[in-house]
Amino acid sequence: MKTDILKSEGDYASNDIKTPLGTFNNYDEEGKLDFIAAYNNGQLIEKTFYYKNGSKKSWVSIYENVVKQQKGWDEKGREINKYIVMKEAKFKGGPEGWNKYLSKNTNGGIALDVGAPPGQYKVEVLFKINRDGFIIAAKAISIPEKCKACANEAVRVIRESGKWEPAIFQNETVEYTAIQPFKFVVEERKKKRMKE
């Protein structure tokens, strides 16, 4: 850190520092232990958070990027019932409902409608959900050069998605950022042969 206080310590599989191994200790601005993260083959499998006084605040177990178990304690070490360490924002109806919403509300023919040549047009939309579950920002972060309308359509669909269940971190609702990919396709038209 700028204050010459150690921010994090741990091991990586190679010098490119892309694959963390084992445990990483992470410290706050005062140099006190903030949390410990444990990795297996580069995948996060566990996180333990601490209060400023050094006592354990919460613990979460993760498998394949899904929270499997989580617990929280007060500063005196008493377990807090139904404590949520971390939970992503969720569309009402869950992943299945989200996929149905996208399928039903996205104009998949927009690229063809605007005369884009045959091909695939990929768009990514970065969006934020506030603590109350409302979309507060949506922006295309990848826009196909030959189909700007595809990006506008993807952003529209995200903005009109309604109220979400807000994200939770350390038992409190928090702002959440997500990225949603879209793919629009214009099929190659086959030329008909004229009979002589």
- CA separation for the pair 95, 164 (Å, rounded): 12
Q: What is the pLDDT of residue 196?
A: 40
Query: How far is Cα 144 from Cα 93, in angstroms, rounded to an integer?
Result: 30
| Domain identity same for 82 and 107 | no
Q: Is 157 helix (H, G, I), strand (E, B) or coil?
A: helix
Q: How many domains does the chain have?
A: 2
Q: Is residue 194 included in any domain, yes or no?
A: no
- Give the amino acid at 100: K
Please report, in tens digits, the pLDDT of each residue of the chain (196 residues total).
Answer: 567 889 999 999 988 888 999 999 999 999 999 999 999 989 999 999 999 999 999 999 999 989 999 999 999 999 999 999 999 999 999 999 999 999 999 999 999 999 999 999 999 999 999 999 999 999 999 999 999 999 999 999 999 999 999 999 999 999 999 999 999 999 986 544 444 4
Together in a domain, 42 and 105: no
Residues 17 and 53 both lie in one domain: yes
Q: Which domain holds residue 116?
A: 90-186
Instruction: Choose one of 50, 70, 86: the last residue of a domain.
Output: 86
Same domain, 103 and 180: yes
Picking from 86, 115, 139, the residue at the C-terminal end of a domain is 86
* Residues 64, 98: Cα–Cα separation, whole Å: 20
Residue 26: inside a domain: yes
Whole-number Cα distances in Å, 57 to 52, 69, 72, 124: 9, 15, 6, 36
- At 26, which helix (H) or strand (E)? strand 20-27
Q: Are residues 101 and 161 located together in one domain of the fold?
A: yes
State the pTM of this model.
Answer: 0.81
Are 163 and 108 found together in one domain?
yes
Q: Clarify whether residues 157 and 131 are in a common domain.
A: yes
Domain end (from 55, 86, 117): 86
One domain for residues 38 and 118: no
In a domain, 12, yes or no: yes
